[in-house]
Amino acid sequence: MRRREFVGLIGGAAVAWPLAARAQQTSKPVIGVLSAGIRGAPQQLLYVALRAGLKESGYVEGENVAFEYRYADGRFDRLATFASELVRHEVTALVAFSNASALAAKKATSTIPIIFGIGGDPVALGLVAGLNRPGGNVTGVYFFTQGLEAKRLSLLHEQVPSAKTIAALLNPNYQPSENQLRDLQEASARLGVELVVLRANTDSDFDTAFTTLKQKRPGALLVASSPFFFSRHEQIVALAERHGVPAIYEWSQFVSVGGLMSYGTKLADAYRQVGIYAGRVLKGTKPAELPVLQSTKFELVINLKTAKALRLTIPQSLLIQADEVIE
């Protein structure tokens, strides 16, 4: 081969290789993640589980799949704008966490596949036609945040049986709040305790709610499920600690930052299942062909350090039930 031809061949390859590399990069699927929460450590730990689920289908972030994240920081009014941004970004699939995020995603597109991870009933919310046959471009994981308030109240009463009054913090802007209140009222009547209802849907509401708590002096506090509360979990736990009130929460992330106890779906498992479905969609399966999964793994988590600070003894009956005890 002549030197000129060889140099020309090498030069051509040098030009073609970057072009091929760029083409390969642009063909990489992109998953848009829409969250009502904040970009914090607990959320990132859950995304580790999401990525683990994707990896089961052979997708690894930075290698053959990319992510675009949008966080609403508890402000649900931002979700519609963020969903539209992700659609304009031409993501390959949308992953939505929280009822409001999933609804915003569905409103934004009827063609891009959507995989949700939500606590509300997806049929009742109008996200899917049915659990077994979702139809359309939406499917995902239903992880039962609703309907567990009565169970949490029972566990809290077991921990603090001397409490004659128990406060419940609810978010009135959260769609299931009326059902939560009804369940708590029925459960408190069965347990023979008085229920004090506190409400908050903005950061400033927490001061008002905990001022009322200080005045009423309940023996314990139940923080009802709410994406907004989850996005402010460190703030709520700090307020409960400041007022010295034993509290039960929805997710283990509250307990990890000092909350006394939690009972709810094992979120990491639910996020992993969302990742598995996202991987199947990227491989070509249509959402309509994937039945909605119902999470069946629940966990009771107890923080012994917090119990000690509150001068509480954890009953043996609760320790036996606990899936995790933080010492």
d(CA 155, CA 161): 10
Q: Does residue 79 lie within any of the structural domains?
A: yes
The rounded Cα 103 to chain-centroid distance in angstroms is: 15
Number of domains in the chain: 2
Give the pLDDT score at 14: 37
First-to-last C-alpha distance (Å) of the chain: 73
- Specify the amino acid at residue 147: G
d(CA 145, CA 213): 24
Residues 48 and 97 in one domain: yes
More confident residue, 10 or 105: 105
Q: Does residue 281 lie within any of the structural domains?
A: yes
Quick: pLDDT tens for 195-204. Answer: 999 999 999 9
Residues 55 and 201 in one domain: no
Quick: pLDDT tens for 91-119. Answer: 999 999 988 899 999 999 999 999 999 98
Residues 91 and 187 in one domain: no
Q: Bridge partners of 191? A: none
Give the pLDDT score at 25: 43
Residues 91 and 160 in one domain: no
Q: Does residue 311 lie within any of the structural domains?
A: yes
Q: Does residue 18 lie within any of the structural domains?
A: no
pTM recorded for the entire structure: 0.77
More confident residue, 263 or 74: 263
Quick: pLDDT tens for 142-191. Answer: 987 667 899 999 999 999 999 999 999 999 988 788 999 999 999 999 99
d(CA 165, CA 221): 9
Rounded to an integer, the average pLDDT of 246-268 is 93
Residues 33 and 134 in one domain: yes
If you search the block for the tokens 């008085």, which residue do you land on?
194
Model confidence band, residue 37 (pLDDT cutoffs 50, 70, 90): confident
Q: Does residue 16 lie within any of the structural domains?
A: no
What's the token pair of residue 294? 């119902």
Residues 237 and 168 in one domain: yes
d(CA 203, CA 209): 10
Q: Does residue 12 lie within any of the structural domains?
A: no
Q: Does residue 224 lie within any of the structural domains?
A: yes
Of the spans 18-32, 104-118, 131-145, 295-309, which averages the highest pLDDT? 104-118
Q: Does residue 5 lie within any of the structural domains?
A: no
Residues 303 and 214 in one domain: yes
Residues 275 and 186 in one domain: no
Dihedral sign, Cα of residue 222, residue 227, residue 233, residue 236: negative
Residues 165 and 249 in one domain: yes
Q: Which domain holds residue 54?
A: 25-144+266-297
d(CA 307, CA 325): 11
Return the SS3 of 50: helix
Residues 120 and 64 in one domain: yes
d(CA 127, CA 110): 11
Residues 168 and 284 in one domain: no
Residues 120 and 251 in one domain: no
Any idea what the CATH number is for the domain that residue 314 is in? 3.40.50.2300
